[in-house]
């Protein structure tokens, strides 16, 4: 499998309190990669490192086959970027912002940019300073898409947008990806949004990658189990025990990852009985994952 | 690419640039207001030249002000956006800075042309006493060079972070304060003097700002 983005052993420090340590990320070419994490976990910093906007202390970053930051201009010419905060020059009109942006990208598609303008209901003569948050979000997406990128790096692109605008933006994104087989790296803390569109997911917390796996594995493997007469020491479990909580009487609740039906036999082997299996939705699984990452002894 | 950068810079600075251009055009005209060639004796001519010289002090100040304002407006919007947009554009950082610098230089041409036109009009409208000459083009060229030197310095300072600018200004301010304390303490130590000599005496980079800025001279 080839990777549009490969990060190895990345280390970066900002101030005394925040650092990214031993980060390794692999984004398969052509995938929609959801980059999940709570606020302040290091998603935006990782994206900025990935694009060469920040310089790491150590580690290697390869994007679209080129080394960052040495080949950043070449990489950025093939990458559409929507940052977390609007970054455009607010003194310009939409028309001027398009002309400015287009001048830097040889693959810029004016025809499509004009179509997107109509689709997003943006007026050319609107000043950027007067755009609403939703309109600015649509313009940022338009600029990223109309340069016909091979890789789209979207940093919380729909954060704070109303559902209608969010749908417009995501529809345009999915249309583009389906037509051009581009790779999308999208960071968000809106888990359900990523659940719908992503086929890979990476979870980050406190500057470290918690897990990276296909979305279907992430979604299907996390369960909540009701266990009766659970052993004090679970021993070698065939699944990953994320958390265990005592309930009423002898009944305990276990949160596990990597669950498969034949693993029921484990409980018979340790003298326990499995009373119920509850599917967790992605958000619950995500919360449990972070909880065990932050308190790794909880399941022991 | 350059055209777009030039356009943005023009848009950010056009109002203030207009004011600077008006001032640049008016300054040569104002400097020759007192010139009346009839019945001028040698003493009157010397007085007249002294008056022009006094007005001439404003040329380097105007050049520095124009440069400072253009440098600030050049980087202001990028600073506000924490340079994210500029850094995410697919060109090397040095290239982007060079384009911004070039665009600022082009805009700086407007006050230079305004000084030149003002000086040409002032020269044409003034009957000069015998023995005196007008130097509108040389004055404009000198103004251009001073503005360019100041722009380069202010551009470099503005390109950095607020912290960098603060350090530069802090060092300058600290030197001045220390020198004042030394003066009050009646010591013979001169800290600022050697720096000033290095900067303002040929071949110092700021030498262009010194001397006589005369539209009309012998």
Mean of the per-residue pLDDT values of chain B:
88
Q: What CA–CA distances, in Å, run from A101 to A96, A105, A128, B11, B150?
A: 9, 7, 14, 16, 30
A46-77: pLDDT as tens digits: 999 999 999 999 999 999 999 998 999 999 99
Res A81 pLDDT > 90: yes
Dihedral sign (CA A241, A245, A249, A251)? negative
Q: Which residues pair with A82 in a beta bridge?
A: A154
Sheet architecture: strand order including A18-28: A18-28, A3-14, A58-63, A66-68
CA dihedral (B107, B111, B116, B122) in degrees, to 10, reads 160
**Which of B4, B12, B87 minimises the CB distance to A103?**
B4
Q: Tell me if A185 sits within 8 A of A216, measured CB to CB.
A: no
The whole-angstrom separation of Cα A146 and Cα A134 is 18
Q: What CA–CA distances, in Å, run from A292 to A210, A217, A285, B168?
A: 10, 18, 11, 49
ipTM, interface predicted TM-score of the complex: 0.82
Res B39 pLDDT > 70: no
A71 by DSSP, 3-state: which?
A: coil
Residue ranges per domain, chain B?
Answer: 2-161+212-217
Q: Contacts of residue A104 in chain B, CB cutoff 8 Å?
A: 1, 89-91
* Residue A188: pLDDT band with limits 50, 70, 90: confident
Res B130 pLDDT > 80: no
A192-235: pLDDT as tens digits: 778 888 889 998 888 888 888 888 877 777 788 889 888 888 88
pLDDT of residue A166: 85
DSSP A217-258: HHHHS-EEEEEES--SS--S-SSEEEEEEE-STTEEEEEEES
B170 by DSSP, 3-state: which?
A: helix
The whole-angstrom separation of Cα A31 and Cα A28 is 6
Res B161 pLDDT > 50: yes
The whole-angstrom separation of Cα A245 and Cα A255 is 9
Q: C-alpha angle B56/B57/B63, rounded to 5°?
A: 95
**Which CATH architecture describes the domain A3-217?**
3-Layer(aba) Sandwich (3.40)
Q: Report chain A's terminal Cα–Cα distance, integer Å.
A: 35
Res A298 pLDDT > 50: no
pLDDT of residue B198: 85
pLDDT of residue B19: 95
Mean of the per-residue pLDDT values of chain A:
87
The total of other beta-carbon atoms located within 10 Å of residue A286's CB is: 24
The answer to which of A136-150, A218-232, B34-48 has the lowest mean pLDDT is B34-48
Tell me the shortest Cα–Cα distance from A87 to chain B, in angstroms: 5
Tell me the shortest Cα–Cα distance from A53 to chain B, in angstroms: 6
Tell me, yes or no, if the pTM score tops 0.95: no
The rounded percent of chain A whose pLDDT value lies above 70 is 97
* B92/A73 CB distance under 8 A: yes
The whole-angstrom separation of Cα A45 and Cα A57 is 13
Q: Contacts of residue B7 in chain A, CB cutoff 8 Å?
A: 96, 100
Residue ranges per domain, chain A?
Answer: 3-217, 221-294
* Residue A299: pLDDT band with limits 50, 70, 90: very low
Res A297 pLDDT > 60: no
Mean pLDDT of the B8-24 span: 94
pLDDT of residue A296: 58
In B, minimum Cα distance to A47 occurs at B88
Q: Return all residues near A190 (Cβ < 8 A) that are at least 6 apart.
A: A158, A159
Res B40 pLDDT > 70: no
In B, minimum Cα distance to A76 occurs at B90
pLDDT of residue A300: 40
* Residue A190: pLDDT band with limits 50, 70, 90: confident
How buried is A38 (Cβ within 10 angstroms: 0-12 exposed, 13-18 middle, 19+ buried)? middle
In A, minimum Cα distance to B92 occurs at A73
The whole-angstrom separation of Cα A201 and Cα A34 is 5
| B contact test, residue of A52, A74, A89, A106 with most B CBs within 10 A | A89
Angle between helix B136-159 and B162-184 (nearest 10) = 110
The rounded percent of chain B whose pLDDT value lies above 90 is 45
Interface A–B counts its CB contacts (< 8 A) at 54
Q: Tell me if B50 sits within 8 A of B140, measured CB to CB.
A: no
Fold of A221-294: Alpha-Beta Plaits (3.30.70)
């Amino acid at each position: 499998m080839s990777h549009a983005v490969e990060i190895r052993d990345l280390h970066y420090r900002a101030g005394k309190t925040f650092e990214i340590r031993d980060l390794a990320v692999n984004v398969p070419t052509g995938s929609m990669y959801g980059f999940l994490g709570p606020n302040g976990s290091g998603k935006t910093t990782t994206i900025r490192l990935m694009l060469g906007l920040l310089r790491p202390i150590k580690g290697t970053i390869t994007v679209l086959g080129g080394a960052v930051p040495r080949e950043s201009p070449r990489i950025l010419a093939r990458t559409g970027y929507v940052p977390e905060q609007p970054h455009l020059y607010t003194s310009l009109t939409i028309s001027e912002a398009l002309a400015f942006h287009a001048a830097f990208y040889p693959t810029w598609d004016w025809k499509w940019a004009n179509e997107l303008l109509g689709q997003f209901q943006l007026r050319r003569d609107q000043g950027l300073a007067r755009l609403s948050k939703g309109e600015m979000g649509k313009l940022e997406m338009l600029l990223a898409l109309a340069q016909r990128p091979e890789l789209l790096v979207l940093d919380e692109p729909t954060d704070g947008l109303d559902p209608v605008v969010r749908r417009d933006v995501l529809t345009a994104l999915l249309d583009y990806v389906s037509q051009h087989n581009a790779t999308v790296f999208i960071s968000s803390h809106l888990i359900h949004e990523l659940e719908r569109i992503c086929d890979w997911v990476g979870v980050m917390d406190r500057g470290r990658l918690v897990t990276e796996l296909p979305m279907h594995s992430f979604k299907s493997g996390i369960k909540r189990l009701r266990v009766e007469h659970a052993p004090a020491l679970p021993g070698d479990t065939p699944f990953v025990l994320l958390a265990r909580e005592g309930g009423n009487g002898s009944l305990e609740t276990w949160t596990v990852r990597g669950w498969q039906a034949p693993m029921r036999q484990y409980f018979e082997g340790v003298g326990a009985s499995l009373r119920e299996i509850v599917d967790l939705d992605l958000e619950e699984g995500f919360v449990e994952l972070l909880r065990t990452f932050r308190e790794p002894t909880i399941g022991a | 690419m350059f055209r777009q950068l030039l356009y943005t810079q023009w848009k950010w600075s056009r109002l203030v640039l207009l004011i600077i251009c008006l001032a640049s055009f008016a300054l040569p005209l104002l400097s020759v207001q007192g010139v009346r060639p009839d019945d001028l004796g040698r003493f009157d001519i010397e007085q007249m030249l002294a008056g022009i010289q006094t007005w001439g002090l404003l040329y380097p100040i105007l050049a520095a002000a124009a440069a400072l304002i253009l440098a600030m407006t050049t980087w202001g919007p990028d600073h506000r956006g924490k340079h994210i947009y500029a850094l995410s554009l697919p060109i090397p950082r040095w290239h982007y800075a060079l384009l911004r610098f070039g665009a600022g230089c082009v805009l700086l041409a407007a006050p230079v042309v305004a000084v030149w036109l003002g000086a040409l009009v002032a020269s044409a409208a003034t009957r000069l006493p015998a023995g005196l000459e007008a130097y509108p083009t040389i004055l404009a060229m000198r103004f251009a060079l001073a503005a360019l030197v100041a722009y380069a310095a202010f551009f470099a300072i503005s390109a950095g972070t607020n912290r960098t600018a603060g350090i530069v200004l802090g060092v300058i301010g600290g030197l001045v304060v220390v020198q004042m304390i030394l003066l009050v303490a009646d010591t013979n130590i001169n800290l600022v003097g050697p720096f000033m000599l290095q900067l303002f005496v040929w071949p110092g980079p700021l030498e262009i700002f010194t001397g006589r800025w005369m539209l009309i001279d012998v």
